[in-house]
Structure 1
Amino acid sequence: MNDQHSVRNGLWIAAASFVLWGLMPLYWHLLKVVPSLQIVMHRMVWSALLVAGWLAWKQGRGWLRATLARPRTAWMLGLSGLLIATNWTLYVWAVNAGHVVETSLGYFINPLISVVMGVVFLHERLNRLQWISVALAATGVAWLTWQYGQPPWIALGLALTFGLYGLIRKLVAVDAVNGLGVESVYLFLPALGILMWAETHGSGGFAGGWGWGVDALLVFGGALTALPLIGFAYAVRRVPLSVVGLMQYIAPTLQFLLGVLFFGEAFDRERATGFIFIWGALAIFASEGLWRARRQAALAAT
């Protein structure tokens, strides 16, 4: 009964995390008056304070030293911190520049990018259905490139930075929250320095130019950065990864719907054709992963 209760809680928390990620364009849109770079810097500063404070409360003041004591951790988390900062910056800019649909495309193709990185960097092998998925996704990207005269750079940039981030976090043996804490510590001083420079040179507004409502949203943006990841880390320890893998498509689906229905972005037949290739690839990929997980569970039970 306790295990069922734990799994049920994990499912609810995973769903809440993905829904929060999916609805986040609405939040960043409320901050459209703030330059995108400053939104990201505030996100880094306040999430660093929140995560570092939480880790100090749960694990004591020595959590940072204990985490960095592991081999290769310091420089690898420094690199992953740069990647996630690049991903956040591109994402916030794209949302407030009217490219929500393309950001959703980036997170739709991200799982397939991660599969390719596993083949290239970790020498993993793919079966026939997985290769078909990758080929369909590549066809969709090629179609969009041909139709619009250039690759979907925003989607590819988001998928590549987050895919590389996931690869590094897979290679470094650190808990998800501790890893986020170290990355936040690395990013804290540069982000704070940029914000202070902006305030003293007249391009910032946190001291009164934007109003207390916007200031509050900037501060709470740190919590929105940390809470879904903490919830995700909680869920993956209690819910089968195959289930979490399917649930992750909640976020880009909500982003896509927001882009088309709420923000009114264009979604013509040509763009829909490219998306259909990619959605088909994801359907095959997800179905194959679910079937394989069930087969392994059946063999283990036998």
Structure 2
Amino acid sequence: MQIKTSQQNERLRGIILAVGAYCLWGILPIYWKQLPNVSAYEILAHRVVWSFFFMFAVILTTRSLRQFLDETKQICRNRKKLGGLFIVSTLISINWWVYIWAVNASRIVETSLGYYINPLVSVLLGIIVLKEKLSLWQTVSFMLAAVGVLTMTINFGAIPWVSLWLAFTFAFYGMCKKILAIGAVTATTLETLIVSPFAVAYLLYVYGQGGAAFSLAMPTTAALLMGAGAVTAIPLLLFAGGANRLPLSLLGFIQYLSPTISLTVGVLLYHEPFTSTHLVSFSLIWLALGIFSLARTKLFIKAEERIIGLFKGRQEKLSS
């Protein structure tokens, strides 16, 4: 009985941590909106540098410096893992820059679309790269999502590149992280450490040109730029805690909180347009995600078996 209660408590704790992470990611556009006069490049550079300092402070506070150094030594000895870290650092930097730029360019709705289709792109990469098989319902999900994106492209006359860039860079990032299998704290610290020299060099260049936003004359802006480290790292740490305690199926449902909150923020708080075309496209993608999330339930598995059985039966009749 005590074991069951302990498991339930851990599950509840995992749900709270995961919901906290996705809620913070959902309201993140509000934070970046407080820096309208700072370029996306400069915000990204500060985000990288202060994220590293924040994560290093976490390592010191939790007294896990020796563990971090040991893991780092092992990674440095493994060329594949070291090369993989450079790749994930580049991918997450591109993802962060596109996201920051899109938010301050009043394209929050497009960012939410990107994170809605991200799980489907992740599965697509699993099929192409890891040779995973696609079920009937997953195929239906991809077709519905593709029609949703195509609807928006045709009606607006432009590909929603912000959504696609965010979806694909984060999907590749997630896939590479899965292959590397490095602890969340160590991975995030090293990812930001690898990019930090480039970020510092850029900030020094901007400062030398006299256009730096980080200044004692603008304490609010300076504080927000420093805080970028915390708002980046805290959701990652919450997510890691939640992911370790929850099954992937439940975590998959909770992840849709983030783009839903972002969409609501963009439309209601910042009055971004949400037309009938958006409604049709998002409805198709929401339907795709619903089917995708339920694809492994008993009801959908039985339905898939019946459909495949009927299809095979018709084929046999036609061939005879």
Task: Report percent identity of matched pairs.
Answer: 35
Counterpart pick for 1:18 among 17, 22, 37: 22
2:238 alignment partner, SS class: helix
Counterpart pick for 1:197 among 190, 195, 205: 205
Q: Which residue is 1:58 aligned to?
A: 64
Question: In 1, are the aligned partners of 2:14 and 2:246 still within 8 Å (CA)?
Answer: yes
Q: CA RMSD in A?
A: 1.8
Q: Which residue is 1:88 aligned to?
A: 96
Question: In 1, are the aligned partners of 2:115 and 2:166 still within 8 Å (CA)?
Answer: yes
Counterpart pick for 1:72 among 80, 85, 88: 80
Question: In 2, are the aligned partners of 1:107 and 1:155 still within 8 Å (CA)?
Answer: yes
Deviations 1:227-271 (A, max 9, x none): 111111111111111111110000000000111111101111112
> What is the number of equivalent residue pairs in this alignment?
294
Question: In 2, are the aligned partners of 1:45 and 1:191 still within 8 Å (CA)?
Answer: yes
The separation in 1 between residues aligned to 2:78 and 2:15, in whole angstroms, is 31
Q: Which residue is 1:241 aligned to?
A: 248
Superposition pairs of residues 250-261 of structure 1, within 5 angstroms:
250-261=257-268
Counterpart pick for 2:142 among 126, 134, 140: 134
Matched, 1:150 2:158: yes
Post-superposition offset of 1:200: 1.5
The separation in 2 between residues aligned to 1:237 and 1:292, in whole angstroms, is 27
The structure with the larger Rg is 2
Q: Which residue is 1:224 aligned to?
A: 231
Unmatched runs of 5 consecutive residues or more in structure 2: 303-320
Superposition pairs of residues 207-222 of structure 1, within 5 angstroms:
207-209=215-217, 211-222=218-229
Question: In 1, are the aligned partners of 2:50 and 2:229 still within 8 Å (CA)?
Answer: yes
Unmatched runs of 5 consecutive residues or more in structure 1: 296-302
Question: In 1, are the aligned partners of 2:213 and 2:221 still within 8 Å (CA)?
Answer: no
Deviations 1:23-44 (A, max 9, x none): 0000000111211111111000
Counterpart pick for 2:272 among 254, 259, 265: 265
2:106 alignment partner, SS class: coil
Question: In 1, are the aligned partners of 2:127 and 2:133 still within 8 Å (CA)?
Answer: yes
Q: Which residue is 1:300 aligned to?
A: none
Deviations 1:103-158 (A, max 9, x none): 00000000000111010000000110010001100011111111111210000010
Post-superposition offset of 1:292: 8.7
Post-superposition offset of 1:73: 1.0
The separation in 1 between residues aligned to 2:48 and 2:37, in whole angstroms, is 18
Going from structure 1 to structure 2, the CA distance change for 1:239 and 1:220 (only over 3 Å counts) comes to: same
Amino acid in the other structure paired with 2:52: A
Question: In 2, are the aligned partners of 1:67 and 1:178 still within 8 Å (CA)?
Answer: no
Q: Point out the more displaced range, 140-149 or 64-73.
A: 64-73
Q: Which residue is 2:185 aligned to?
A: 177
Amino acid in the other structure paired with 1:196: L
Question: In 2, are the aligned partners of 1:199 and 1:207 still within 8 Å (CA)?
Answer: no
Q: Which residue is 1:298 aligned to?
A: none
What's the TM-score, normalizing by structure 1?
0.93
Counterpart pick for 1:45 among 41, 49, 61: 49
Going from structure 1 to structure 2, the CA distance change for 1:179 and 1:290 (only over 3 Å counts) comes to: farther
